[in-house]
Structure formats: structure tokens, C-alpha cells
Structure 1
Amino acid sequence: MPSAAERTRTLVQSTASAVLVVPGLDGVRQDEITPGERTTGTDGDVFLLFPADSPAVRAATHAEADELPAVLEITDVAPVAVSNRIRGRAWVAGWLTCARELPAGPGRVWLRLEVGEASVDDLWGAEPVAPEDFVAAAPDPLVAHEAELLQHLASSHADQLDWLCALASGACGIVPERAVPLALDRFGLRVRFTGDGGAFDARFEFRSPVPGPEELHRAMYALFEAAYEVAHPEQH
């Protein structure tokens, strides 16, 4: 499974919604503290892009040499239609400064968040993340494509997703009426099954970690093939 640090780095690099909470910025609108872009530097610092006149940039500018604490709060929502769509949250706390040495374009400024601590609470569980682990971790190689891939699976592979219930050894106590792909990473696929008896999530691991989206097709084919053989034993 991905480590807590990797999951946090993945959420930082994802398109999940995020806000930057800075003490003293009371009464600001959420869109004013939502970075337009975000990325992570090689040294683990998180960079956030804001309009030059945003409250966050003004606060970082006025703080100058003082340490300005801030927390990046990330909320991850499933990109497919499913109940209880929030898949997880992550918090990255540290100290905020202006990174004016980075090219940002007219009227925009990059802010640097030096990571002091982090934590994640998602489908895997809740865990703290040490700063050195955050720096050393890498985002999942499928993060930039996950939303598109899950939407494709939901719209074009409903039958194959239904087969996967046969692999959920014993967990399939309900007759599933719907199977929704909930999360995807290099290690496997998580599916939510719903039916008259309720709902449950099941995780299906690939035979080996997928290094990138180009190799995902082969891994998904092997997974669906194994599920079909279990779901239709009379044909084998």
C-alpha cells in the first residue's frame, strides 16, 4: 500500500480542492485562499500560486523575516457519482514566505510553504507524516490521470466492474446492483459495491505496481480476466 507520506504528496499534486489557512485572515472568502496552482519542489517545499493582491500574499509580504504559520487543507472528492464522495483529507502545516524568485506571470505570486508537519485521513486510515518522510516521498504516478481513468471505467466498463465482486472473497454478502470505481493508484483499484443489503468497498491489487498510465491497460486486463474466470466458472 502507499505510505502516508506518499498519499499526502499525491493529494498535494492532485486536483483535489485546497485552501490555505493563515492565522489572522478572518472573514475572507474561500476563493481568496484557494491557490490557483500548487506543486512541490525537490526539497519538499510546497509552492502555491495566488493573485498578487490576495490576502495570503499580503500576509506573507507583511510578515517579511518573521515566521508566518499556515496550513494547507486539502479535501479529496471522488470524481465519479457515488454516495459519501469525500475520499480523504490532508493537512500540510508550516511557514509561509513569498517565492518571488519563481516566474509566476503578471499579477501573480508564488508562495512557499516550508513543511513542518503533515497528516492524512483517507480510505487507508488516519496517520501523521513526518517532514522528512514528506520530502522523501513521491506522488503516485497515476495521480494526473486518475479522475479521467475512473470516469472511463465507470462509463465504459460497468460489466467488468461487476465481475470483480466475485473476487471479494466473502465480503460480497449483498447482491450488487452497482459497482463504482472509487480510487486508483499504482498498486490497485478500489471499488464500491451497492445493493439492497447495503454497500461495501473492496480493494483489488494489481499483480505488480504500475509504473505509469501506459502500463495500466495490461494490469486492468489481467484483473478483469481473473474476475471473469471466478464469476463465470462454467465457461472454464
Structure 2
Amino acid sequence: MPSAAERTRTLVQSTCSAVLLIPGVETTRPEQLSPQARVVGPDGEVFLLYPADSPAVRAATHAQDDELSAVLEITDVAPVSVPHRIRGRAWISGWLTCVPGLAEPGFMMLRLEVGELSVDDLWGAAEVEPEEFAGASVDPVVAHEAELLQHLHSAHGEQVQGLSALLGDQRGEGAGGGQQAVPLALDRFGLRVRFVGERCFDARFDFPAPVRDITELRRAMHTLFEAAGH
């Protein structure tokens, strides 16, 4: 399974929605606290792009030499329609400063120096050390995951449903029969499917080996569907 640090880093560098929570800073438009872009720096710091007149930039500018604490909250929502659609959340708390000169005119780059990190997702809840986060790699599937899950759901529903044949004793009564199989999450280690019906449960289908790119992913998915068909 992916480490907690890898899962957190993947969420930060994904397209999941994010909001910056700053004590004392409130706005009638919550989207003003959502960064327009975010990237992780070489030392594990998180750079956040905002319009120059945003409440986050104003707060960081006024703080100047004082330490301005903030929490970046990331929410991961399944790209396909499924019960209990939120797949996970991550929280990165630290100290916020302005970094002039990194953004184009009209924008400001903010730097979040990481103090504490935690993640609560489909794998479970965990704390993450800043050093582990800085050294973690991003899952190679993340950039294509939403598109691939939507494609699996719309064009390969029968094959996804057929994976219930691999569940064995786990499948319980009715799994794969009256229950709909929805592809829920995809990473370099495998596919997670949510079976929805009288009872709702998730099942993991691991690849023979972790994949490194889309070509290997397609091959691994083909192998998985073949195994379910026999």
C-alpha cells in the first residue's frame, strides 16, 4: 500500500479542492481562500498562488515578521457518482509568508512552511512527518485517475462488475448480483471498487506489480479483467 506520506503528497499535488484556513480571516466567499495553484518545493514547503488582493495575501502581508499560522485543508471527492463520495482529507499546518517576485503581476505566491501533516482517507488515518512528506513521491497515476475512473464506469461497467468473481468468500450474499460495482479509486498498486446495494462495501484488486506509467497501468487492468473472466 502507499505510505501515508505518499498519499498526502499525492493529494497536495492533485486537482482536489483545497482551502487555506487562517485564524481570524473570514470571508463571505470561501473560494477566495482556495489557491489557484499549488506546488511542493524541494524542501517540502507548499507554494500557493493567490490573486494579490485575496484575504490570504492581505493576512500574510500584514503579518510581516510575525509568524502567521495556517492550515491547508484538501478534500478528495470521487470523480464518479457513488454513496459516501468523499474519499479522504489531508491537513497541512504551518506558517505562511509572502514570496514576492515568483508570480506574475496581479498575483502573489505564498509559502507554507510545513509543521504538521495528517491524512484520513480510504486507507485509514495517519500522521505524517514533514521530512517524510518532503521525500515522498507522487503516485504516477494521479494525473489521469479521474478520467480513467470515469471511462471505466461508463465504458467498462460490465468488466468492473465482473471483478466480483475474484472476491471469493469476501463477496457475501448478493455481491455482484443485485449490487452495482463502481470504480472508486486507482493508484499504482491497484483498483478499489465500491459495491453498492443492500450493503455497501469496498474491495481492493491489486496489480501483479506496482505500475510506473499509463502503459503499464493499461496492461495491469487488462490482466485484472482477464483473471476475473476465467
TM-score, normalization by structure 1: 0.93
Question: 1:169 offset after TM fit, Å?
Answer: 2.6
- In 1, distance between residues paired with 2:192 and 2:175? 18
- In 1, distance between residues paired with 2:74 and 2:101? 26
Equivalent residue, structure 2, for 1:160: 159
1:204 and 2:223 are equivalent in the alignment: no
1:185 and 2:187 are equivalent in the alignment: yes
Structure 1 residues 71-150: aligned runs within 5 Å = 71-102=71-102, 104-150=103-149
Give the aligned residue type for 2:42.
T
Gaps of 5+ in 1: 230-236
- In 2, distance between residues paired with 1:131 and 1:71? 14
Give the aligned residue type for 2:163.
L
Equivalent residue, structure 1, for 2:15: 15
- In 1, distance between residues paired with 2:58 and 2:127? 30
Give the aligned residue type for 1:9.
R
- In 2, distance between residues paired with 1:114 and 1:169? 47
RMSD over aligned Cα atoms: 1.1
Identity of aligned residues (%): 66
- In 2, distance between residues paired with 1:6 and 1:169? 30
Per-residue CA distance 1:55-100 (angstroms, 9 max, x = gap): 1001111111221110000111000010110000000000101122
Give the aligned residue type for 1:68.
L
Per-residue CA distance 1:183-217 (angstroms, 9 max, x = gap): 0000000001123x312100011001010123211
- In 2, distance between residues paired with 1:219 and 1:35? 35
Is the CA contact 2:164–2:175 (under 8 Å) kept in the aligned structure 1? no
1:43 and 2:43 are equivalent in the alignment: yes
Give the aligned residue type for 1:57.
V
Structure 1 residues 216-227: aligned runs within 5 Å = 216-227=217-228
- In 2, distance between residues paired with 1:74 and 1:175? 32
Give the aligned residue type for 1:215.
E
Question: 1:28 offset after TM fit, Å?
Answer: 4.4
Equivalent residue, structure 1, for 2:64: 64
Gaps of 5+ in 2: none
Give the aligned residue type for 1:185.
D
- In 1, distance between residues paired with 2:127 and 2:15? 22
Give the aligned residue type for 2:144.
H
Question: 1:29 offset after TM fit, Å?
Answer: 2.3
Equivalent residue, structure 1, for 2:170: 171
SS at match of 2:222: helix
- In 1, distance between residues paired with 2:109 and 2:192? 35
SS at match of 2:171: coil
Equivalent residue, structure 2, for 1:232: none
Give the aligned residue type for 1:90.
A
- In 2, distance between residues paired with 1:42 and 1:163? 43
Question: 1:149 offset after TM fit, Å?
Answer: 0.7
Question: 1:121 offset after TM fit, Å?
Answer: 0.3
Give the aligned residue type for 2:19.
V
